[in-house]
Amino acid sequence: MQIAVVGSGYVGLVAAACFAELGHNVLCVDNDPQKLAALQRGEVPIHEKFLPELLARHRDINLTFSGSLSKAVKESSVIFIAVGTPASESGEADLSYVEAVAREIAESLDGYKVIVEKSTVPVYTSEWVRKVMLLTGGPECEFDVVSNPEFLREGTAVTDFLYPDRIVIGADTERAAKILKEIYQPLTSGRYYQSKEAVSEPDGAKIPPPLLLTSAKSAELIKHASNAFLAMKISFINAVASVCEAVDADIEEVAKGIGSDTRIGSRFLQAGVGYGGSCFPKDVAAFRSVARECGYDFTLLNEVMRINEDQRQRFLRKVRTALWTLKGKRLAILGLAFKGGTDDVRESPAISIIQSLLTEKCSIVAYDPAATERAKPLINGAITYAENPYDAVDGADALLILTDWDEFAGLDLERIRKLLRYPIVVDGRNLYRRKEMERHGLMYISVGRPASKLEELASKTQQQLSS
């Protein structure tokens, strides 16, 4: 099938590459000349597992890039809109980019097309896209608007696309629904998974994935409600972690007990410094705004957002407690991305915490395997960037872990202890066990778990030295 994908960000580029992987002819459109030129040269602008391999496999064969939306509309039968929908100051989604694309598509129609919302948009967007296209002169009989929300996690977006938990198609006409079902047929029939070149199957994959056919409004709500619910799970377990800290319980044990209930599940029950990224903060605020416009005050989402912000403040209080005073302290920061496996720093808890520490006159040396260049423009203040974790730790008064990169879970703790000025590790991602840290003479503070007691640690260290 001839497909156009408008937008080459995290969603658009992954979708374009994966549609090509499924055997479709894909034209990816972007209006940024520099990004377009880089993609045409074969450069990969984002850090995403398997994406470089797919782009190399399909570029200039059945995946091409263009700056002309009009050309893409004329050459394609299905146009996926995957442009940004940033949050406004009030929390509402800014749909101006979607509207501009819809208007240009309408002006370029030369036959029946299916217009697909791939961006995360509020309910009623499909109706507004249809109205904009009609007002622009698009003949009613020559297009349908469909909602096909993405459920991609940055860092695993390619496997999430090719091995989805479900495929949601929100179509209000049988004609459009049939075309979308054909696009995903390589997945729903299981044919793609029989290919020797198929991307490797992740644990727990549903093969073939279920396809859910809904109305466009239901599909739009499914996306927003899903992200809001996942954000709620994260805030809930972080709130429970605060109770655990008050009574010296272990949030890891509590979360395991909760997550073992099949009605709840263990995913997104990892306590830490809170959620971030391009989706959860924006989508929770947008869903709350949508509910308010519909006459419902979704106060539960207010609390989800409050807990998430408070989690960062609680982490800062842990650092202050460990170091007494922060002014003039040299801190090693591991992690700038909002989560491991991606270079995305949008709404990153790490960036927020760093900014707060800089206002307290701390000296910071940071390291991230992929996100450093994206983080630099967002950080206001003097900060040094290291080439590896050990350079960051060298001479620091404490080590702070803010992103759950696999690399950070396998550090040489003996080396870390020797490099630190004070043996203090404040782990915002619970990557280690306290006993393991203490065996290496490190005072360990994490989220929702008992912290090392300085007197006990000093006694253990003295015993080790004397023996």
* Least confident residue range of 121-130, 266-275, 362-371: 121-130
**Architecture of domain 2-214 in this structure:** 3-Layer(aba) Sandwich (3.40)
Nearest to 268 by CA among 151, 347, 356: 151
Q: Where are the domains of the chain?
A: 2-214
Q: How large is the average pLDDT for residues 137-150?
A: 93
Residues of the chain with pLDDT > 90: what percent?
Answer: 90
DSSP code, position 209: P
Residue 25 pLDDT level (bands cut at 50, 70, 90): very high
Which residues, other chains included, contact 317 with Cβ-Cβ below 8 Å and sequence gap of 6+? none
Residue 465 has a pLDDT of 47
Residue 456 pLDDT level (bands cut at 50, 70, 90): low
Q: Are 438 and 454 in contact (CB under 8 A)?
A: no
pLDDT tens digits, 416-425:
999 999 999 9
Residue 55 has a pLDDT of 97
Classified as helix, coil or strand, 211 is strand
Classified as helix, coil or strand, 437 is helix
Q: Is 189 exposed, middle or buried (0-12, 13-18, 19+ CB in 10 A)?
A: exposed
Q: Which helix (H) or strand (E) holds 322?
A: helix 299-323
Distance CA 348, CA 339 (A): 8
Q: Is 390 exposed, middle or buried (0-12, 13-18, 19+ CB in 10 A)?
A: middle
Catalytic residue list contains 244: no
The CA distances from residue 225 to 233, 268, 301, in Å, are 12, 15, 11
Residues of the chain with pLDDT > 70: what percent?
Answer: 97
Q: Is 121 exposed, middle or buried (0-12, 13-18, 19+ CB in 10 A)?
A: buried
Q: What angle do CA 103, 107, 87 make, to 5 degrees?
A: 15
Residue 281 has a pLDDT of 92
Q: Is 451 exposed, middle or buried (0-12, 13-18, 19+ CB in 10 A)?
A: middle
pLDDT tens digits, 195-209:
999 999 999 899 999
Q: How large is the average pLDDT for residues 248-271?
A: 96
Better-predicted residue by pLDDT, 12 or 91 = 12
Residue 92 has a pLDDT of 84
Produce one character per residue of 4-33: b if its CB has 16 or more CB atoms within 10 Å, e if not: bbbbbbbbbbbbbbbbbbbebbbbbbbbee
Q: What DSSP line would sit under 214-273, residue for residue?
A: E-HHHHHHHHHHHHHHHHHHHHHHHHHHHHHHHHT--HHHHHHHHHTSTTT-STT---SS
pLDDT tens digits, 279-302:
899 999 999 999 999 999 999 999
Q: How large is the average pLDDT for residues 368-374?
A: 96
Q: How large is the average pLDDT for residues 261-273?
A: 96
Classified as helix, coil or strand, 3 is strand
The catalytically annotated residue of 18, 244, 279, 362 is: 279
Is 278 a residue whose pLDDT tops 90?
no
Nearest to 397 by CA among 428, 420, 426: 420
Q: What is the 3-state secondary structure (H, E, C) of 38-95?
A: HHHCCCCCCCCCCHHHHHHHHECCCEEEECCHHHHHHHCCEEEECCCCCECCCCCECC
Identify the residue whose tokens are 């995360």. 120
Q: How large is the average pLDDT for residues 359-370?
A: 96
Q: Are 274 and 314 in contact (CB under 8 A)?
A: no
Phi, psi of 458 (to 5 degrees): -60, -40
